[in-house]
Amino acid sequence: MSEMIFCQSCGMPMGDTDEMYGTEKDGTKSKDYCSYCYADGEFTESDMSMEQMINLCIPHVVESNPETSAEDAKKMMEECFPTLKRWINA
């Protein structure tokens, strides 16, 4: 089984196929970012802060993990997001 790959912007698991991957300017699939965060070589929300991204992702994390509270989801992302490529030097 291959190693789980996560979007380096929102932390979403990318799955085993490349259908969730964003695209570069030349149309090739991005190796780092999902299609929600990245298209045509640019972030879809280029002026979004890490805190705004976390708040945007909370409902999605809770929906896909009903045993996780919004507070726990936020804590988890506050620990994880600073290690993602998009936010490391932000």
Its pTM stands at 0.90
Indicate the length of the chain as a whole number.
90
pLDDT tens, position by position, 21-62: 999 999 999 999 999 999 999 999 999 999 999 999 999 999
CB contact at 8 A, 6 and 87: no
Round to whole Å and give the CA distance between 33 and 20. Answer: 9
pLDDT tens, position by position, 70-80: 999 999 999 99
52-54-59 Cα angle (round to 5): 110
